[in-house]
């Protein structure tokens, strides 16, 4: 099969499309013929050598496609089903991918938008679980307009929480449409939050990593009421929790989001798509930060 790989660290041009052996699902897993694969910031961090140091490396933890092989013990799925899900092997940007968790693609979504969901939905649901966000909670989401942020907004609203979200002025209409009360980020953000929620907020989730953890602690009253998925250094300095999947992942979120999307209660924005062989171009666009919405590779 064709797959994205790099054999040295560096700029996007180190990315190659190579031939690799076809993978096969283990117990409880499935294999899909990939139609679309999501791109995340961790992809270019890995390519730059800022994360995993082994070489060579493949890329991709989320994909959507058509089931073509089923491992022992995998239930509720059949060859030919359209599914989206997560791969634990970091090799989903390829013609074939093995998934360990998945859900049916709802009729409301195409392959590209389905492939944009898994990482964001799981990260958002896990962080909300760790915070304890429930009906009646007031939660502030810093960076609410990004992929993880918008997923967190919609999942928190689904739980019955009041959601306040930071974003640039140009994102406020979109944030309102998702059910959040938008405030501008930057200097004076805590005052703007208190203007609409005088007693502060119960919880805060930082997905932007913009250096505001001290302000979030102030607004919530204690470090344990704040989680970040983007600022590990700031978390160490402030006593805030940094959310990882080490103690378990919220894979249930895939099926939940599929149900929400089918009912018209979950929206996902794909900013730009690229054919698999243009993965280097996709990295350049992603690193430039000029496109709002998820970047997705399409596999013919």
- CATH class belonging to 123-242: alpha beta
Residue 31 structure tokens: 């294999």
- Provide CATH 3.90.180.10 ranges for the chain: 2-117+268-298
- Residue the block writes with tokens 């997560």: 86
Residue 138 structure tokens: 């007031």
- CA-nearest of 88, 105, 98 to 30 is 98
How far is residue 228 from each of residues 73, 82, 177, 214, measured CA to CA in Å?
36, 33, 24, 12
CB atoms closer than 10 angstroms to residue 60: 25
Q: Which pLDDT score, from 0 to 100, does residue 289 have?
A: 86
Decide: 214 and 235 in contact? Cβ < 8 Å: no
Cα dihedral sign for 85, 253, 294, 58? negative
Is the domain spanning 2-117+268-298 CATH 1.10.287.3510? The answer is: no
Helical residues (DSSP H) of 70-224, grouped into ranges: 111-115, 118-131, 147-158, 172-178, 189-196, 213-220
How far is residue 286 from each of residues 41, 112, 273, measured CA to CA in Å?
7, 16, 11
Exposed e or buried b per residue across 218-257, where buried means at least 16 C-beta atoms within 10 angstroms of its C-beta: bbbeebebbbbbbbeebbeebebbebeeeeebbbebbebb
Q: Which residues pair with 276 in a beta bridge?
A: none
Q: Which pLDDT score, from 0 to 100, does residue 246 have?
A: 72
- Provide CATH 3.40.50.720 ranges for the chain: 123-242
Taking the C-alpha atoms of residue 257 and residue 169, their distance in angstroms, rounded to an integer, is 27
CA 117 to chain centroid: 6
pLDDT in tens, the chain (300 residues): 999 999 999 999 999 999 999 999 999 999 999 999 999 989 999 999 988 889 999 999 999 999 999 999 999 999 999 999 999 999 999 999 999 999 999 999 999 999 999 999 999 999 999 999 999 999 999 999 989 999 999 999 999 999 999 999 999 999 999 999 999 999 999 999 999 999 889 999 999 988 999 999 999 999 999 999 999 999 999 999 999 877 789 999 999 999 999 999 999 999 999 999 999 999 999 999 888 889 999 998
Q: For the whole model, what pTM was predicted? A: 0.93
Decide: 144 and 152 in contact? Cβ < 8 Å: yes
Decide: 299 and 277 in contact? Cβ < 8 Å: no
């Amino acid at each position: 099969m064709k797959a994205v790989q790099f054999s040295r660290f560096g700029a996007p041009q180190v990315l190659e499309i190579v031939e690799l052996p076809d993978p096969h699902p283990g117990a409880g897993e499935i294999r899909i013929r990939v139609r679309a694969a999501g791109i995340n910031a961790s992809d270019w961090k890995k390519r730059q050598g800022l994360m995993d140091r082994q070489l060579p490396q493949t890329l991709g933890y989320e994909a959507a496609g058509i089931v073509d092989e089923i491992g022992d013990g995998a239930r509720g799925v059949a060859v030919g089903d359209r599914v989206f899900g997560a791969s634990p092997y970091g090799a989903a940007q390829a013609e074939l991918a093995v998934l360990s968790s998945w859900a049916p693609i709802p009729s409301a979504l195409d392959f590209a938008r389905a492939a944009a969901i898994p990482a964001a939905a799981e990260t958002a649901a896990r962080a909300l679980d760790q915070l304890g966000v429930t009906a009646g909670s007031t939660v502030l989401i810093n960076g609410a307009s990004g992929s993880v942020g918008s997923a967190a907004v919609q999942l928190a609203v689904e739980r019955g929480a009041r959601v306040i979200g930071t974003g640039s002025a140009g994102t406020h209409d979109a944030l309102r449409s998702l059910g959040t009360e938008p405030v501008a980020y930057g200097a004076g953000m805590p005052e703007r939050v208190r203007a609409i929620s005088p007693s502060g907020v119960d919880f805060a989730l930082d997905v932007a990593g913009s250096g505001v953890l001290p302000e979030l602690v102030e607004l919530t009253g204690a470090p344990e009421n704040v989680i970040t998925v983007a600022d590990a250094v700031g978390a160490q300095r402030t006593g805030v929790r940094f959310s990882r999947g080490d103690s378990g992942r919220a894979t249930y979120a895939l099926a939940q989001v599929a149900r929400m999307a089918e009912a018209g209660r979950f929206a996902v924005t794909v900013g730009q798509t690229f054919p698999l062989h243009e993965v280097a171009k996709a990295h350049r666009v992603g690193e430039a930060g000029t496109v709002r919405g998820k970047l997705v590779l399409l596999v013919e």
